[in-house]
Structures are given as C-alpha cells and as structure tokens.
Chains A and B, each alone.
Chain A
Amino acid sequence: MIYEGKQKIWSDYQKDIPDDHYFYVRSCIRQAFFPASEAAFLDITRNKLGRDVFETEHHTTCGGIAYHCDVIPQETSMTIIARQFALMHKYGYENFVCSCVTSFGLYCETLETWREFPELKEKIAENLLKSCNLEFAVPKVLIHSSDLIYKFRSRIAGQAKYKLVDKNTGRPLRVVEHIGCHYSKMFPSKGVGGAEYPYVLIGMIDAWGGEIIDYPERRHCCGFGFRQYFIQSNRGYSLANSNKKFESMEPYEPDMIITNCPGCSYFLDRWQYVIADTQKKTYGKNGHGIPVFTYEEVAGLVMGYDPWDLGLQTHMVGPEPVLEKIGIDYSPDAKYKGVGGKDIGCPECPACLK
C-alpha cells in the first residue's frame, strides 16, 4: 500500500462542509433500530460542539424505500424530496443534513436529475405547489450527517475521554470501515474521499486513535438493497453478501466495524447472528462476533457517553469486547434497564453468539 497515493486521492475528493446552521432530516430505519444514534448526533453537534442543528416534526421519509422497491414512481419520490427541501427553505436554512445514506443518495440523484432535466424540475415544483402549497427550493449544500462528524472529528478527539486503543496492550483497535453504497458510489464527488477509497470514516478513526484495516472485499455491498431484503426469499442473497465480507475481513482480526449507513449497520450486525445460528460460525474472538457501530455510537463512546445511553444494548452482536478493550466503565446489569431503571427485556440470544 502506497499511503501517499491514497492521500492524493483523498485530497482530490474533498467537499465543502458548512460550518453551522443545519437542517436535519432523520432516517426511517435508524429511528426504528438505532434511535439513540440520531439522539447522540444531535446532542454531540448541538451541545458538545455548539452547532445550530434544526429539525422539524413535519419532515417525512424521503420515499427511498418505496422508490427502491419500485412501489412509487420517481416523480412521487421527487415531490416528497422537494417537500423536504421546501421545509428547509421555509425554516430559513440552506444546509441540508440527512441521517440516511439511502436518502443522501436519492437527494443527490434528484438534484442531479433536476440539473439535467430542468423541465422535470419545473413539473416537480408545480406538483409541490399544488399538493403542499410550498415554495420550491434546493439546498445550497447537501451533506450526510457522517460528513458533519467527519468535519468535527478533531474537535471530538479534543473532547474525547477515551481513545480507540486497547488499554491492556496499547495497540490501536483494528477497525473495519464500511461505507453505504449510496454515499459515494453513485456520485464519487459527493463523498469525502470519493467512491474507491472513501475517507469519511477513516478520517474519524484516524482522529480517534484507531487503526483502519483494509481487506479485499472492503468495497463490497453489505447486501441490504431493499429488493433483496424486503422479499424473504431474496434474503439469502442479502445474507451471502455480508457473509462474503465477513469471510474476507476475518483473517485481519478486526476489533470492530464502523459504518455510516442505516442498512449496513443493521445487517452487518444482524446477519452475524443469522450466520452464527445457521452456520455455527462467529467472526470475533472466542465465540464473539465483530461488534458493529454507527459513527455516532463510536463518537459517543470516545466522548464518554454511557454505552447503554447510546443504545448499544439493541445490537445483536454484544459490544462488550470493545468496551473492555477501550476500558470504558459500564455496568453489565444496566444493559437492559431503560430510563429510570425500568426493565426493557432481554432478547433471546443464540447460544452460538455471545
């Protein structure tokens, strides 16, 4: 590996990420599966970094799921998106931050389409006016929330309580980074570091003391893809993709996986359970899996948030090995205690995956 070569590419793919005043839209999947990640994001950006991050309860899904499942036409999804933009405009913002990579891709795609086909843009504006009576607008800057954390990675490191280092051995944690396909594969210039060697997560890990490991199937999709996932008979295909990645990363003995995409963090985590259960195969040390984190979770951890406040108990693969290594003090008993110590119930865990 010639590091300078990579740096060269990274420097070629930098995007200007505004300094403040963001209009934030959420991710359907993450709200359902990792609500704490988005909460952590808002807390970090607003309270720890003192940014103005605005969100409105009026915003909706981007329609991406329906769009990618071919249940709504592109025009519809575009109108939904136009509405999101319009809300941003209405509340006086022009920097659009979205929490979901699928959305991010779709927003990019939509803006690109409008650029290519102005007449379509007109039509959508008209739809918007008719349907919602909102004024059409496009954001000045469109970024993904991981871009934001990336931008402030050093400041987060500055406030960090922990480093991504094994406190017993002093060795940096070996981290596998996984980027959502729709983050930059569709529009390389829209992603920090481009499509082939994305830097957005690597930047964070570097800043927080971890060690990024490269592996042959790094670029490979986690296999989510709505068509694959939402039809049960296709899930084997989805599973095969994640499996391929695990097989490929295993020899490099990663301590953890960090992702910036709702689907990826979900499937890289859940499929490890399915594989453990059906194939009796685990990829971590002695029966453990490889813990999977969102970038907010990792940011939260290094900044000293309580793991359970970050919602790590909702993971299928237990995060404990990583917490142990970093030396984060946490109470195992509190794992399944909700707000005010209320028991939130413990999921049935397969014997094969600790």
Chain B
Amino acid sequence: MEKNVLIIGGGPAGLEAASILQKSGYSVTLIEKTDHLGGHLAVWDRLFPKGQSAEELLYRLVDNLGPVNCLLNTDIQSINVLDRSFSVILSNGNILLADAVLLACGFDLFKAEKKEEYGYGIYDNVITNADLERYFQEGDGGRIINPKKIGFVHCVGSRDEKVGNLSCSKVCCATAVKQACEMKQRFPESEVFCFYMDLRMFGRYYEDMYLEAQKKYGIRFIRGRVSEVSEKGDKTLLVKAEDTLSSKPIMVSLDLLVLMAGIRPSASGRRVGDMLHLMNEEDGFFSTKDSIYSQQKSDIPGLFFAGAGTGPKTIPETLNDARSSALEIDRYLKSNFPKKK
C-alpha cells in the first residue's frame, strides 16, 4: 500500500514538496491553517530581484500540485510519534496516520509595533513592507497619496537584541531596494531614502538591482539606523538617524515611512514543534540534525523540515529546500518500508 505523507503548511515549501512527493507516488495530505494556500507569497505582489509576479509563481505551484489532499482552515490538534509513524488529530477532528511528516510552517513577520519608537500603528504614515505589498496589489484605500519623500527602514526587528532577534532576516535588504524602486516607478518625482545598517546584497542580480536603484532611480542610501520618528501637525514624519558615513546626526521630514519587518519563527510552527518536543536554536528556529549536511532532517526519524522554519530563506532557497526535503522523505520511506515482493 502507498505511504502517507503529511505536510504541515501550505506555503511555497509545502506546495513544492507536496507536488514532488505526490508525483513520486506517495499519498500526500497538506494542511494549511489559513483559508488560502501560498502563505506570505499570496499577500506579496512582486518578487526580487527581477520583479516577477508572486501571483504567477503561486499559480504555478498550485497548478503543479495534482491530486494532493489539501485541507484549508485546518490545524494540528495533537501529534504523536509512534513506532515508525505519526498519529495526528486535526482540528476538524479527523485522525490520520502518517509515515512521514514535513514541517513547512514558514515564518511570521516581525510585529513592527514592537519597535515603539517608529510609531507603527500610531502614526498614520508609518507602514510595513507587507502593507506596501498589499498596496501594490490592490491599493490601500487612498492612504498613500503621491508622497513626495519616502523612507525605508531596514532591519526592523532584525539584528536587534532589544526585540530578541540577533540574526539577519536575509530578505529585507533586497525587498527594501525592490520596493524603493517600485515606489520611484509609481512616483517618479518622489525622493526615496533607504536607512540601512549593512546592505546585504548577497544574491545573484542583487547588486545589479542595487546599482539600478542608485543610478536609474537616484535612491539615497543612508548608512544608519532610524532611532526615532515623530509626527508633525500635518501628519508628516520627522525621522532621526545618524549618517554614520559622516558621523553626524541626520534629520529628514518624510511623507511615508516603510518599515522592513523582519522574519521571526512561526508561532504555529512552534506549537507543533512543542507537541513533538523539537529543539530550537537560540534564534527560535528549529534546530536541524546537522547544520550543513542534512538541514532538512530533524532529530525524530520521519520528521522533516522545509522552508523558513529552519531560518530565513529567499523563495528560490525555500523551493530548493522543499525539493531536498522531498528527496530526503523519499529516501527515508524507501529505506524504512522496502517494497515486499
């Protein structure tokens, strides 16, 4: 009889792994706690470095899915490790036995209001990267009206001990530069400032994107972290930072401030993790069996990871991670349940 694989999380990682495992002949069940597939991808408009449409990518992933049993609005109620299998009770009461489980719970965006000094949720014209993507997708009901001066704050909730996250969220720099360029495309007359601590343009084409942002769009990159935001009478913002390159305090009035909320471990992922007593690192992401050789394996045989559950990842990285997980799962099932002649 064909083996059951349970995939927890319907984001890019879950979808990609599901379609591969399903095609390699396993019966795959994918559960997603929200009412839509795609996770954060579904609420993003365009993807760096080349501005591909997130919607098209998601459509493609879902299209490849095939006859996978997808359960939306479904969460894990309990999960137990049996001998060589897992018994899972779903929030809809159903019980199912899985020979392998893939944890693809992704990440949560950092709650920008936690950085009180930036006044997210208090000042009208302070928004987050996610808000901006939503605006790109369907507008924002006239909140952003032809801003003359726009600021982007990198590393909001990243590399910041005060909010309990020492690590870099990896994707924000590229996202900020992407969004900055998109804003210049929409508002060519606007002045755009990016406040960064370090620009981490590590990926292919990222540096080109950065160069274009400077050369074509004339975006001003200020090396310094915004320390304080206040609202003026006319709802414009007074932003303070240090220009560390000239080691002078800097002050600028902006019409719109976009906070690059970083990547935090997914709370729901943690919930499942706790049920399974999975260890996690100091940074709150799941600890893998080995940090280099087998990043997709957990300490529990038959339980695997894919995507941002084991640390921030770009979409291509997530997809690759999902593919390797699928491969690991396939290997695992083949070796543990050899076909009987």
Contacts and interface: CB of A to CB of B under 8 A. Distances in A.
Interface of A: 1-2, 5-6, 8-9, 194-197, 214-219, 251-252
Nearest to A196: B116
Contacts of A194: 116
21 contacts: A1-B124, A2-B124, A5-B119, A5-B121, A8-B113, A8-B121, A9-B116, A9-B122, A194-B116, A195-B116, A196-B116, A196-B117, A196-B119, A197-B122, A214-B230, A215-B230, A216-B238, A217-B230, A219-B230, A251-B233, A252-B233
A314 to B, nearest CB: 32
B182 interface: no
A34 B119 CA distance: 35
A200 to B, nearest CB: 16
B119 to A, nearest CB: 8
A262 B166 CA distance: 38
Contacts of B122: 1-2, 5-6, 9, 197
Contacts of A214: 230-231
Contacts of B116: 9, 194-197
A64 to B, nearest CB: 25
Interface size class, chain B: 10 to 19
B203 to A, nearest CB: 35
A5 B233 CA distance: 17
Contacts of A216: 230-232, 238
Given A195-B116, A196-B117, A2 B232 contact: no
Contacts of B238: 216
Contacts of A217: 230
B123 interface: yes
B317 interface: no
A214 B231 CA distance: 8
Nearest to A194: B116
A195 B230 CA distance: 14
B228 interface: yes
Contacts of A8: 113, 121
Given A2-B122, A214-B230, A214-B231, 11 more contacts: A1-B123, A1-B235, A5-B121, A196-B117, A197-B116, A215-B230, A215-B233, A216-B230, A216-B232, A219-B228, A219-B230
Interface of B: 113, 116-117, 119, 121-124, 228, 230-233, 235, 238
Contacts of A9: 116, 122
Nearest to A219: B228
A251 B232 CA distance: 10
Given A197-B122, A216-B238, A5 B230 contact: no
Give the interface centre of B121, B123, B124, B230 by most chain A CB atoms within 10 Å: B230
Contact of A5 (B113, B117, B228): B113
A197 B231 CA distance: 12
A6 B123 CA distance: 9
A8 B123 CA distance: 13
Given A194-B116, A196-B116, A252-B233, A2 B228 contact: no
A198 to B, nearest CB: 11
Nearest to B236: A216
Nearest to B237: A216
B231 A1 contact: yes
Give the interface centre of A5, A8, A9, A195 by most chain B CB atoms within 10 Å: A5
Contacts of B123: 1-2
Contacts of A218: 230
A215 B231 CA distance: 7
A9 B121 CA distance: 10
Contacts of B230: 214-219
Contacts of B235: 1
Contacts of A197: 116, 122
Nearest to B228: A219
Nearest to A3: B122
Give the interface centre of A5, A197, A216, A252 by most chain B CB atoms within 10 Å: A216
Contacts of A6: 122
A351 B230 CA distance: 35
A189 to B, nearest CB: 12
A196 B238 CA distance: 15
Ordered nearest first, which 6 A-B pairs have the shortest CB separation?
A5-B122, A196-B116, A5-B121, A216-B238, A216-B230, A196-B117
A211 B221 CA distance: 39
A218 B235 CA distance: 15
Nearest to B230: A216
A179 to B, nearest CB: 14
Contacts of B117: 196
A252 B233 CA distance: 8
Nearest to B120: A5
Contacts of A196: 116-117, 119
B164 to A, nearest CB: 15
B127 to A, nearest CB: 12
A210 B231 CA distance: 20
Nearest to A12: B116
